[in-house]
Amino acid sequence: MKAGKISELTTNRLSIYLRCLTLLADEDIKTVSSAALAKRFHLNSAQIRKDLAYFGEFGVRGVGYDVDALRDHLIKILGLGRTHRVGIIGAGRLGSALTNYYGGDRSTFEVAALFDVDPLKIGERIEGVEIFDAKHFPSIAKRDNIEVAVIAVPAEAAQDVFEQVTAAGIRAVMNFAPIPLKTIGDVKLKTVDLTTSLEGLAYHLSGAASLNGNNPEPGPTGRRN
């Protein structure tokens, strides 16, 4: 397995394949070829084979992939064979929505605790998850074995919160604040910027995208993209 050379784009696709295989397993489908998988879920069969080849040989020529076996392999590869405990910093609308979504048995990610600075929220519960004073994050994170921090605070507070959670030993952070954060050490940071995504859609609707499409910029080879 050449795991050291695996890109984040590849692991993102593995996650998509896992969801597709789970749907097939729910339909009691036992085997699937890369071509059938690609056709059913609008994927690329060559890309599927290339991505899986990084981790070994899973299919049988002329038969395809064993759905359950491949699904189990992907769960192991992605580190989803156990529960990962999450702490959400920010118990506002977004933090509450994330807690509501992950409050059930939806994934291997479990919201262990919420954190906020608002004294009126501290001690309350959302989906059974208690809201703690944010200043107690280090001790609660250690007590509850929190591995992942989700930042759902206003932009102006996000960098301070990021530094606080990483100082507490957290090495995996998802940031929903609409601001880029300065990374620290070996911490893995993923930013989900909903505003940027929506503004990209607004650009598409504005008509400017179609105008630019009529006169595309030349690519690195000199050809029009």
Phi, psi of 214 (to 5 degrees): -80, -15
Cα 181 to chain center, whole Å?
17
As a whole number of angstroms, the distance between CA 168 and CA 170 comes to 6
Alpha carbons 129 and 121: distance in angstroms, whole number: 12
- Residues of the chain within CATH 1.10.10.10 domain(s) are 3-77
Per-residue pLDDT reduced to its tens digit, 155-190: 999 999 999 999 999 999 999 998 999 988 899 999
pLDDT of 106 reads 58
Q: 198: burial class by Cβ within 10 Å (0-12, 13-18, 19+)?
A: exposed
Give the chain's largest Cα–Cα span: 63
Task: Determine the angle formed by the axes of helices 8-26 and 67-77, rounding to 10 degrees.
Answer: 140
pTM across the whole model: 0.81
List all residues 6 or more positions away from 28 whose beta carbon is below 8 Å from its beta carbon. Answer: none
Is residue 203 over pLDDT 90? Answer: no
pLDDT exceeds cutoff 90 at 131: yes
Query: Which whole number is the average pLDDT over 86-101?
Result: 95
Start-to-end Cα distance in the chain: 35
CATH topology of domain 84-197: Rossmann fold (3.40.50)
Provide mean pLDDT across the span 60-64.
Answer: 83
**Which residue has 């102006």 as its token pair?**
156
| Cβ proximity of 89 and 153 under 8 Å | yes
1 pLDDT more than 60: no
Q: Where in the chain is CATH 3.40.50.720?
A: 84-197
Architecture of domain 3-77: Orthogonal Bundle (1.10)
Question: What is the average pLDDT value for the chain, to the nearest integer?
Answer: 88
- Kindly tell me if the per-residue pLDDT of 210 is higher than 80: no
Cα 115 to Cα 135: distance, rounded to the nearest angstrom:
8
- Of the candidates 112, 117, 110, the one whose C-alpha atom is nearest the C-alpha of residue 135 is 117
What is the percentage of the chain residues whose pLDDT exceeds 70?
88
Residue-level pLDDT at 216: 47
Tens digits of per-residue pLDDT, 15-38?
A: 999 999 999 999 999 999 999 999
Residue 225 reports pLDDT greater than 60: no
